[in-house]
A and B are shown apart, each in its own frame.
Chain A
Amino acid sequence: MGSNPVTWLGSPVFPKAAKAALADTQLRRNLRKATHTIRDKRAKAVAELPDWEQLRRAGEAIKDDVLSNLDTYLERIEAAVTARGGIVHWALDAHEANEIVLRLAREAGTDEVVKVKSMATAEIGLNEALEAGGIRAVETDLAELIVQLGNDRPSHILVPAIHRNRSEIKEIFQREMAEKPASDEPRDLAEAARRHLRRKFLLARVAVSGANFGVADTGSIVVVESEGNGRMCLTLPEVLITVMGIEKLVPTWRDLEVFLQLLPRSSTAERMNPYTSVWTGVTPGDGPQQFHLVLLDNGRTDALADRVGRQALRCIRCSACLNVCPVYERTGGQAYGSVYPGPIGAILSPQLVNDMHDKQAASLPYASSLCGACYEVCPVRINIPEVLVHLRAEAVEAKGRTPESVGMAALGWIFNDARRYENAQKVGSLARHLAPSGRISSLPWPGSKWTSARDVPTPPAESFRTWWRKNRG
């Protein structure tokens, strides 16, 4: 078994990937426009609700209850789904989950499955695993379709093709579709996608989905979406296979009330999403006649064991944190080297990989200025900066002795004693003689990382404490 496919094999560390992305002017323009639009819309949608803060707290509390009693709720949903004619499978990791889905698709005798947009199946690399097993997975979410047809990688949780503008999308469709789009007008692009997908829906015998929520009490699975393509997948085929992360549970039907307000306003800035599909096991004569629920761990129980890090498992994949993040806005999602980009990705991906010796994963918690905009908008109050700092400490520990750790220890030693600190100030102050102009524009490494774009103030002749000692001491 290989490493966890949540991060893409061979991805460079974040600073290196970011440097390349920052130079892509089209990407910068597309992202700036898209993130600012959705950011402003979200702020308006959220401001409409006077009880938004209470909703956030309720969402946090419900998810925390689920996480601290996960074993109970998981057994409950297994019993409920089974009682309603569904079949529950347990997958420890990506490999097991992929094997289960591949086997089920083969048993159904198909060589093509239609897919509802799903982060869990992206996380485990299901499409690639199915393809290796001779089964084609067709993405039916418009943005996922753009990514798939463009042989591209996703860059956003909700809008995986956010890095593409409409003329780029038109080019992809013209290259890949039998019926070409008439123009790059959104209407024509949507029409081309519709014609392309209708054929797939009507022929499909197996659909694969993820889940936004699973209700433990009733065994009901919930998928929310905007396009209705998910609804087609969830109702037309004979066999439905749902891959759901074990943290997606809510205890009761009533708890959905909280999340069906939090999620659409946070993610698409809508009061209510256009399509909310709910199904419970199998209903004879209506919809899929075979339902499989694959419960996926893939690193989640390891994250659950971490007192600080476990709050990342509250995430409902709304992407509000991506849309407000000043780092994400400039680098885009692919720089994070994972299906989970942005602030949530920076805390979730390293935890799912669960190996801080992995340099790429260990670089992700540093991909933030800790400005806190993500925490402010998170609908389930994940304190992302807190987890980032927590994971940085793990990364430091894994790295052991480095020039940085030696420097930090030395600085700690100086700061621990005011006399040593003042002596260091006096030595540093001599640097002012090197730059009589009042600014330093070039320093040797690692200071060069700063002076590449910024001057440094020259130290003053006397520090405040020296002044105080002379005048007030």
Chain B
Amino acid sequence: MPAPRVGLFATCLTDTFYPSTARAVLRLLERLGCDVDFPMDQTCCGQMHYNTGYREEARSLASKYAGVFAGYDAIVAPSGSCGGMVREIHPELHGSSDAFARTYELSEFLVDVLGVTDVGAYFPHRVTYHPTCHSLRMLGVGDKPLQLLRSVRGLDLVELPEAETCCGFGGTFAVKNADTSTAMLGDKMRCVLNTGAEVLCAGDNSCLMHIGGGLSRLRTGVRTVHLAEILASTEEEPWAATP
């Protein structure tokens, strides 16, 4: 079987602020035998516009996405939220397209398409996992990320209490309703700190930026790491914090 031709949809947030996550996806997928391409014309899925009420801007970005990602066997995004936007909302904005239907959140692609849960990763840290709302409720990834994390050597996985409660990010909600968002963040941080984990993992850098922004502000010493970076980490090339 020829290697699947995978389009990497980095998402604008990860491309701009968290390039180490996108490089981790690349490394991981290549290690698993995929032929990965990053089409340079990609930008943003338009979720922020759509969710804030700017439908026309979002429509134009959905159409752009359909063109940019046409022809790949699969498109993989390190985000349940952007993946959900593409698969669930783009067809409504632009009409159906293979590019939308073939878009996967990373854990879905690994478990459902490649059929692997042990990706040969090594990450010797105490980790707790926050299932992001859109990966859980829009895409229905279920426990796939946990299956992947459980197979990581050296990783001490601790259960996060009230895991399925939103962290309070919600895109522009975090600024439009900053007080409520912060109250939600406070409870999420309390749950994270109660686990005694040194690393909080999730499949969305947006939620991690929010929770991590709070954890950093309070100097908690807990770090946020995207699922892709944990899965890309190996004994030969272990994960290292990027400056």
The reply to whether B17 and A457 contact each other, CB–CB distance below 8 Å, is yes
| A389-B51, A408-B57, A450-B213 as given contacts; A459 in contact with B176, CB under 8 Å | no
Interface of A, secondary structure class, is: helix
- Tell me the nearest residue of chain B to A456, going by C-beta: B213
Cβ < 8 Å to A, chain B residues 21-39: 22-23, 38
Rounded to whole Å, the gap between the CB of B220 and the closest CB of chain A is: 11
Q: Does A88 contact B (CB under 8 A)?
A: no
Question: Which residues of A lie under 8 Å from residue B111 when comparing CB positions?
Answer: none
Rounded to whole Å, the gap between the CB of A451 and the closest CB of chain B is: 8
Q: Which of A395, A411, A412 has the most CB of B within 10 A?
A: A412
- Tell me the nearest residue of chain B to A413, going by C-beta: B57
The reply to whether B14 and A464 contact each other, CB–CB distance below 8 Å, is yes
- Tell me the nearest residue of chain A to B25, going by C-beta: A464
A150 to B169, CA, bound (A): 36
Q: Does B72 contact A (CB under 8 A)?
A: no
| A330-B184, A418-B40 as given contacts; A464 in contact with B19, CB under 8 Å | yes
Range class of the B interface residue count: 35 or more
Rounded to whole Å, the gap between the CB of B216 and the closest CB of chain A is: 4
Rounded to whole Å, the gap between the CB of B166 and the closest CB of chain A is: 4
The reply to whether A371 and B137 contact each other, CB–CB distance below 8 Å, is yes
The reply to whether B137 and A396 contact each other, CB–CB distance below 8 Å, is no
Question: Which residues of B lie under 8 Å from residue A327 when comparing CB positions?
Answer: 177, 180, 184
Question: Which residues of B lie under 8 Å from residue A408 when comparing CB positions?
Answer: 49, 52, 54, 57
Question: Which residues of A lie under 8 Å from residue B184 when comparing CB positions?
Answer: 326-327, 330, 369
Q: Does A416 contact B (CB under 8 A)?
A: yes
The reply to whether B134 and A372 contact each other, CB–CB distance below 8 Å, is yes
The reply to whether B138 and A455 contact each other, CB–CB distance below 8 Å, is no
Rounded to whole Å, the gap between the CB of A145 and the closest CB of chain B is: 30
CB contact between A396 and one of B23, B52, B61, B164 (< 8 Å): that residue: B52
The 7 closest A-B pairs by CB, nearest first: A369-B170, A454-B213, A392-B53, A412-B57, A371-B166, A396-B53, A372-B137
Q: What 6 additional pairs, Cβ within 8 angstroms, besides A14-B177, A366-B173, A415-B43?
A: A18-B177, A375-B137, A421-B12, A454-B182, A459-B16, A464-B15
Q: Give chain A's interface residues, CB within 8 Å of chain B.
A: 14-15, 18-19, 22, 326-327, 330-331, 366-373, 375-376, 389, 392-397, 404-405, 408-409, 411-412, 414-418, 421, 425, 428, 438-439, 441, 446, 449-450, 452-457, 459-460, 462-465, 467-469, 472-473
